[in-house]
């Protein structure tokens, strides 16, 4: 799915780790959806915590209208170094998710 921040993030490394796990296609899809939702909620939290009430309304209107370019432009104008903030926060989240995936892989191997 395309989001207003899609051009600055990659999650393929997480999907690659999921592909290495012994999971059904449905399980991988479900986990990929959870990862996507987790990252999306994390980014929204970062953005909304930095905006004024008025700017939140404008931003959310753009998102609701599926105007991702306008949403991105708006937050770039209103939040200093927003791209850097999003990248750093999501990289930290991805590290945690990678650790969780690796731990799950180890546990699965031990159970086998």
Query: Total structural domains in the chain?
Result: 1
**Is 3 inside a domain boundary?**
no
**Is 5 inside a domain boundary?**
no
Mean of the pLDDT values across residues 52-65? 97
Q: Nearest 5°: CA angle at 6, between 1 and 78?
A: 125
**Is 67 inside a domain boundary?**
yes
* Percent share of the chain, pLDDT over 90: 55
Rounded to whole angstroms, what are the CA distances from 33 to 1, 49, 77, 82, 105?
Answer: 10, 24, 30, 24, 18
Residues of the domain holding 31: 10-111
**Is 44 inside a domain boundary?**
yes
- Going by pLDDT thresholds of 50, 70 and 90, the confidence category of residue 22 is confident
């Amino acid at each position: 799915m395309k989001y207003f921040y899609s051009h600055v993030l990659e999650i393929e490394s997480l999907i690659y780790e999921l592909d290495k796990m012994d999971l059904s296609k449905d399980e991988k899809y479900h986990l990929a959806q959870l990862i996507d939702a987790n990252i999306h909620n994390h980014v929204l939290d970062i953005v909304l915590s930095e905006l004024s009430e008025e700017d939140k309304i404008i931003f959310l209107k753009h998102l609701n209208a599926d105007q991702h370019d306008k949403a991105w432009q708006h937050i770039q104008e209103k939040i200093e170094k927003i791209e850097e903030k999003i990248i750093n926060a999501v990289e930290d989240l991805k590290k945690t998710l990678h650790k969780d995936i690796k731990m799950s892989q180890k546990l699965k191997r031990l159970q086998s």
